Structure 1
Amino acid sequence: MNERRQIERRLADPRPLSVSALADLSLDALDHGLFEAITARITQAIAAGAKDARLYQILGLARRGVLDGRGAVAAFEHAVRLAPKDALVAHGLARSTWEAGIPATAFYDRALRLAPTDASMLVGRAAALVAEQRGNDAIAAMTSILEENPGWHEGHAAYARIHAASRMTGDGTATVRAALARYPGDPSLWRLLLSMLLDARRYVEATEMARAASSRLGEQQEWRRVEAIGLSEAGEAEAAQRLFDRLTLTNSAAGLIRPLRNLIRMGRFDEATAMAERAFPMQEEVILWPYRSLLWRLVEDDRWHWLEGNPRLVGVYDLGLSAQEIAALADMLRALHRRSGEFLDQSVRGGTQTDGNLLARAEPEIRQLRDVLLEAVSAHIAQLPPAVVGHPTLIDPRAPVRIAGAWSVRLSGAGFHVDHVHPQGWLSSAFYVALPNGTNQASQEGWLAFGECRDILPTLDGFRQVEPAAGRLVLFPSTMWHGTRPFPAGERMTVAFDIARP
């Protein structure tokens, strides 16, 4: 915190700096999220006559930081004009253009001419092709690259994401399976395939492939762990527990989650509570809070009231957008969903989810929505109870307010969200844009339910339900279990975002 304050003071100091010194200071400020201060200082220097690609490049990164898509693109355009042969600057323009929702493939092509083998550019170009409804071209390009570079793990993972986002038929793990056929003794490829299968919730296949890895490479704890996870998530808790009992627990919070889930499934709540209450550094421990919440409610431990019982943690706000504004937003989002798919490791069932940070897009409907949402978030934070030592939500400080990610989900038919949490965020949200006509209040079709995790505790009822309404925003702790009840038919469309932990 002291370092952050020192950088803030230096940025606010009106005394002139050399371009190099200002660039170095601004790069340090980027690490601390001081995007507004960077923008003010660099804009001042540019107005005074500074013309340097680095300053425009850093300005573009600062505008990306506050989700100003058009501002980021404009800054990188200036940087490219001043440094036309700089591959990093060209990549910045391509990426910010894609994030703003503007066709970006041509910009990626230009950047790749400067750095033809840059992995992140190759992945970015594929995402840009999908955004332009050229999913077949993206798949073909990634397949060709991976045939030549079968050890490119990031590329295999990107292929799977693109395959899902493009709603392609076939198997999103095809490229890594092809690589394994060529190099069956490579444990890193086995590890990657197993991880992808778990992310895709293909638990029976994950179990089978973990056994195949043991046959090929020899019995190892990591293969047995995947087999146990696959059995547990596929509903074979007792068989999974026999394997978990033979494993050495990893000394990390993340390593406890799967065996913890299995203990809960088996009703061994005392053991599960002891495991969930193990202490870790705060940033690591955050993934355990949702399970502590479930277990404390199950055994009627008063600590649940300390954690989630205060009603001010959940806020329900009707934002006052007109019917015409909501209809225009819905039309814009539908156009995005026509070229979106279902992501592998997300909670959507029976619907589509947009790619990229939705609130960084440059469309006027999105820019208006972003402003209204952030205003509501600030009001919600202001009404939260005071800070509590050790609490995952009631923290101090509570600024700056930054959107960590944003997306839209469109559900149809009997679509719903499975119960889940957002451990990478501080606060999470649901903003309702479109809903089916004539939903049944008695059955709470499509309602947002808090405190349920039906996957491992199917009989535990939630502690609060919120009725959806077009133009309504719900804000809640990111560590709080939430999901939606299915509805029989119709369209349900939302915007969701996470606020980053300050």
Structure 2
Amino acid sequence: MLRAGAAALQAGVYADAVPAVANVLRDHHANARLWQLLGLLHRNLEDLAPAVEAFAKAAELLPDDPMIAHARACVCFEAGLPAAHLFERALRLCPPDRSILLRHAAAQIAEGQSEAAVASIQQELLRSPTWIEGHAALARVRWTGGEHEEFTGSFEQALRAAPREVALWRAYIETLLNAQLHERVLVIVARARSAAGPHSSFDAAEAIAMSELGDVEVAGELFRRVAHVKDVKVVLYYLRFLLRAGHVREAADLAEKSAPNDRSHQIWPYLSIAWRLLGDPRWEWLEGDPRFIGVYDISETLPPLDALAERLRALHRTVRHPFDQSLRGGTQTEGHLFPRIDPEIRMLRKAVVEAVERHIAQLPPPQAGHPLLVQQRAPVRFSGSWSVRLTDGGRHVEHVHPAGWLSSALYVALPEVIASGPKEAGWLSLGEASELGIDLPPIRLVEPKPGRLVLFPSTMWHGTRPFEAGERLTVAFDVKRRG
């Protein structure tokens, strides 16, 4: 059964394997590996209440097993339960593993122990100054905690000890690019070249920064120098440059060549914009079918909105938005929301799954090569889920979600000013790309209402109109692309 269960995990047929493992456990109740397997199956089904129970039983039977200890800590953390103490035990039992240290830090932050989390990451960075993931995690924690000027301080400290370490410079620059601090990028690129010598990644970062700062002439020359760099991120920024500079035909040619082979699905949004600007009717094949966007009022299947709003507000623990996200003037919850076992969140997830299934059922049939109209559409799983809380003047800049297949906005609480203020304040805009400096009308504007869920392709540009005052509380998620 263990071998068959492992095969089921590998094949992704989790639901089929659960009853079989549960039946065997009736006669082998003291088999820790079977409990471990059952926990893994439930975890992969995003059904964490039974996963927590299964791993607790496995840990009771094999208390010193490192894999069980680590998995139990992860499942409890994902379920929204206290887990810092469980990660501490996993760290003692497991061979040195920095990924566990980072999860432990995340659990500490969730339990209000941010200073301890920062200290543990800093301590490991003192031992290993070139630990890139540690620097990135620490920068993110510091930024969302309110630090702006010094959030990259650990990079500076490490580079004083290892000034010729190209990987450190690259990670430092990427962090600043994600934070859209393009003037600081140029300063660090100059320092990187001086300390570590020339490198194509420094050239690419300079081109990106100059483009985002609006210096079209200089950016164009710099991008020509890095044309040989085969990195999808550089291609994306080059597409942004071409569109901003008005080289629409060139952007379309590059995107048409690149999109079919781009497994990250990040190029389609730029191809859509180019086709629309050129008047190419293929944009309608890509995004124009009205069935691609669904608006569903699901208040009746949601938990009471006041209770849901109260639960979500308690999960907004930072003071600033993540630097690599689209919101401005608000906060975003950390981690994956839907696996939590809070009653309100479980009811929320159930209502969302039902609405997503209804939306998928009305989509057009599969079409080869179309990023939305794929063959495999079930079961519904999520690659991410979170809550966003925007306040006075907050908004989302236009963006896309390459990690998803379908994306969303579910409105939980809205300020009165949206109803009484300027027309379209706080509305969701789909298909607009003003963030690129491009004047295209939206494909659709959707008025927010409490309990309203909007679903749309993850490759479609979307953002929100700003509003004057109050709180706009939403849930968002990405449906995982199957296959």
Distance change (3 Å), C-alpha of 1:228 and 1:145 = same
Give the gaps of 5 or more residues in structure 1. Answer: 1-21
Instruction: Please tell me whether residue 287 in structure 1 is matched to residue 266 in structure 2.
Output: yes
Conserved in 2, the CA contact under 8 Å of 1:347 and 1:418? yes
Conserved in 1, the CA contact under 8 Å of 2:132 and 2:171? yes
TM-score (norm 2): 0.95
Partner of residue 471, structure 1: 451
Instruction: Please tell me whether residue 381 in structure 1 is matched to residue 360 in structure 2.
Output: yes
Conserved in 1, the CA contact under 8 Å of 2:426 and 2:448? yes
Partner of residue 431, structure 1: 410
Residue correspondence of structure 1 range 59-458 to structure 2 within 5 A:
59-115=38-94, 117-168=96-147, 171-279=150-258, 282=261, 284=263, 286-321=265-300, 325-339=304-318, 341-439=320-418, 440=420, 443-458=423-438
Q: Over residues 428-485 of structure 1, what are the superposed CA-to-partner deviations in whole Å (9 max), with x where a residue is unaligned?
A: 1111001010325753011100111122134222111000000010011000000011
Question: How far apart are the structure 2 equivalents of 1:210 and 1:36?
Answer: 50
The SS at the match of 2:453 is strand
State the identity as a percent. 45
TM-score (norm 1): 0.92
Which segment drifts farther, 450-459 or 223-232?
A: 450-459
Q: Read off the aligned partner of 2:277 and give its amino acid letter.
A: L
Conserved in 1, the CA contact under 8 Å of 2:52 and 2:76? yes
Distance change (3 Å), C-alpha of 1:489 and 1:441 = closer
Distance change (3 Å), C-alpha of 1:162 and 1:71 = farther
Conserved in 1, the CA contact under 8 Å of 2:264 and 2:403? no
Q: Read off the aligned partner of 1:309 and give its amino acid letter.
A: G
Q: Read off the aligned partner of 1:103 and give its amino acid letter.
A: P
Question: How far apart are the structure 2 equivalents of 1:333 and 1:285?
Answer: 30
Question: How far apart are the structure 1 equivalents of 2:138 and 2:321?
Answer: 14
Conserved in 1, the CA contact under 8 Å of 2:332 and 2:389? yes
Conserved in 2, the CA contact under 8 Å of 1:359 and 1:406? yes
Conserved in 1, the CA contact under 8 Å of 2:395 and 2:464? yes
* 1:306 CA drift (Å): 0.6
Q: Read off the aligned partner of 1:467 and give its amino acid letter.
A: E
Q: Read off the aligned partner of 1:166 and give its amino acid letter.
A: G
The SS at the match of 2:384 is strand
Q: Read off the aligned partner of 1:438 and give its amino acid letter.
A: V
How many positions carry a matched residue from both structures? Answer: 481
Partner of residue 480, structure 2: 500
Give the gaps of 5 or more residues in structure 2. Answer: none
Q: Over residues 106-131 of structure 1, what are the superposed CA-to-partner deviations in whole Å (9 max), with x where a residue is unaligned?
A: 11111111126221111011101110
Conserved in 2, the CA contact under 8 Å of 1:424 and 1:500? yes
Conserved in 1, the CA contact under 8 Å of 2:258 and 2:267? no
Q: Read off the aligned partner of 2:67 and give its amino acid letter.
A: L
Question: How far apart are the structure 1 equivalents of 2:166 and 2:58?
Answer: 43
* 1:340 CA drift (Å): 6.2
1:489 to 469, 473, 479: 469
* 1:69 CA drift (Å): 2.2
* 1:237 CA drift (Å): 2.4
Distance change (3 Å), C-alpha of 1:353 and 1:243 = same
* 1:321 CA drift (Å): 3.0
Question: How far apart are the structure 1 equivalents of 2:83 and 2:336?
Answer: 15
Question: How far apart are the structure 2 equivalents of 1:199 and 1:84?
Answer: 42
Conserved in 1, the CA contact under 8 Å of 2:428 and 2:447? yes
The SS at the match of 1:140 is helix
Query: RMSD value over aligned CA atoms?
Result: 1.8
Distance change (3 Å), C-alpha of 1:313 and 1:405 = same
Q: Read off the aligned partner of 1:87 and give its amino acid letter.
A: P
* 1:53 CA drift (Å): 2.4
Q: Read off the aligned partner of 1:226 and give its amino acid letter.
A: A
Question: How far apart are the structure 2 equivalents of 1:170 and 1:85?
Answer: 44
